[in-house]
């Protein structure tokens, strides 16, 4: 999709692919035949620049035909280069302005609590957007309101936009910071599907506390010459590079 559209964020998509596969494949309480089902879990893809992998995930889950993925980032197509929910079943929120997903998710979770509803909210975040003050306001808000139906998954691939996270704005000790704001935290290998499933199945991790899964990932995971490279935040694979990349993924 990304190579054909000559667009960006393949590294960001590959780092979060396993997380979305587990969530849509075995964790989320959703019904592709009824995308507006009131009792569904809500997933917000806050790192909306990784839209291609989100669309692929909802298509694989049955919300839309996989043939529709050819519209990605094409003029006149419905699948925009940053995540859109407009006309795209299975996508809850248009995103891409980093720092907006969690505040909306916290509001949704509070709504469910006050309505006595059992649905849960999952917010998939990038590590880079943890620089945003709006996220820390939402983290403080969720702890105060004891939103144990709110779950964030931080795709911690250690690279943001133009450089490594530790050089741009250091996050560590990230888990301790979240705990200080009243959250329960678990750290996992974000490419170990069994560890991810085990962590998600344990939710809520503690009574009366929102939940944070810090998923340690690799940008560009699965393609040796993309892994851990800042370049693949923005660059699109050429047709020749695409062929090599797909061969590596198929062999892994």
pLDDT digits (tens, 9 = 90+) for 119-139: 999 999 999 999 999 999 999
Q: Which residues contact 187 (CB under 8 A, 6 or more apart)?
A: 175, 213, 214, 216
State the pLDDT at residue 61.
97
146-161 mean pLDDT: 97
Judge whether 37 and 78 are in contact, CB under 8 Å. no
99-126 mean pLDDT: 98
State the pLDDT at residue 39.
98
User: What does pTM read for this prediction?
Assistant: 0.97
State the pLDDT at residue 213.
98
pLDDT class for 97, splitting at 50, 70, 90? confident
pLDDT digits (tens, 9 = 90+) for 185-222: 999 999 999 999 999 999 999 999 999 999 999 999 99
Number of CB atoms found within 10 A of residue 179's CB = 15
Asked whether residue 67 carries a pLDDT value surpassing 90, the answer given is yes
Domains and CATH numbers, the chain: 2-251 (3.40.50.970)
pLDDT class for 163, splitting at 50, 70, 90? very high
108-117 mean pLDDT: 98
24-51 mean pLDDT: 97
Q: Which residues contact 102 (CB under 8 A, 6 or more apart)?
A: 44, 46, 123, 125, 134, 135, 138, 139, 152
Share of the chain above pLDDT 90, in %: 98
102-129 mean pLDDT: 98
State the pLDDT at residue 229.
96
- Strands 211-216, 184-189: pairing is parallel
State the pLDDT at residue 145.
98
Asked whether residue 85 carries a pLDDT value surpassing 90, the answer given is yes
For residue 142, report the phi and psi dihedrals to the nearest 5 degrees: -65, -40
Asked whether residue 171 carries a pLDDT value surpassing 90, the answer given is yes
Query: CB-hemisphere CA count at 13 Å for 228?
Result: 2
State the pLDDT at residue 81.
94
pLDDT class for 155, splitting at 50, 70, 90? very high
85 cis-preceded (ω within 30 degrees of 0): no
State the pLDDT at residue 236.
96
143-172 mean pLDDT: 97
77-87 mean pLDDT: 95
Asked whether residue 252 carries a pLDDT value surpassing 90, the answer given is no
Give the torsion through C-alpha atoms of 131, 95, 14, 42, to 10 deg: 100
User: Whose CA is closest to 124, among 21, 9, 231, 233?
Assistant: 21
Judge whether 145 and 110 are in contact, CB under 8 Å. yes
């Amino acid at each position: 999709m990304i190579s054909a559209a000559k667009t960006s964020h393949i590294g960001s998509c590959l780092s979060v692919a396993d997380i979305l596969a587990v969530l849509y494949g075995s964790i989320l309480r959703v019904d592709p035949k009824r995308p507006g089902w009131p009792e569904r879990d809500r997933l917000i893809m806050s790192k909306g620049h990784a839209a291609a992998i989100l669309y692929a995930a909802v298509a694989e889950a049955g919300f839309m035909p996989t043939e529709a993925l050819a519209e990605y980032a094409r003029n006149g197509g419905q699948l925009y280069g940053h995540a859109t929910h407009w006309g795209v079943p299975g996508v809850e929120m248009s995103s891409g302005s980093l720092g907006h997903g969690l505040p909306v998710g916290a509001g949704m979770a509070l709504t469910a609590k006050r309505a006595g509803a059992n649905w849960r909210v999952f917010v998939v975040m990038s590590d880079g957007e943890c620089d945003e003050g709006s996220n820390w306001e939402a983290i403080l808000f969720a702890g105060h309101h004891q939103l144990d139906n709110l779950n964030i998954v931080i795709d911690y691939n250690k690279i943001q936009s133009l450089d490594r996270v530790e050089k741009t704005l250091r996050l560590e000790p990230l888990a301790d910071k979240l705990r200080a704001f009243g959250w329960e935290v678990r750290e996992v290998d974000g490419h170990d599907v069994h560890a991810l499933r085990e962590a998600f199945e344990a939710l809520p991790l503690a009574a009366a506390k929102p939940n944070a899964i810090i998923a340690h990932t690799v940008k560009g995971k699965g393609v040796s010459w993309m892994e851990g490279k800042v370049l693949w935040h923005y660059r699109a694979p050429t047709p020749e590079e695409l062929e090599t990349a797909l061969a590596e993924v198929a062999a892994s």
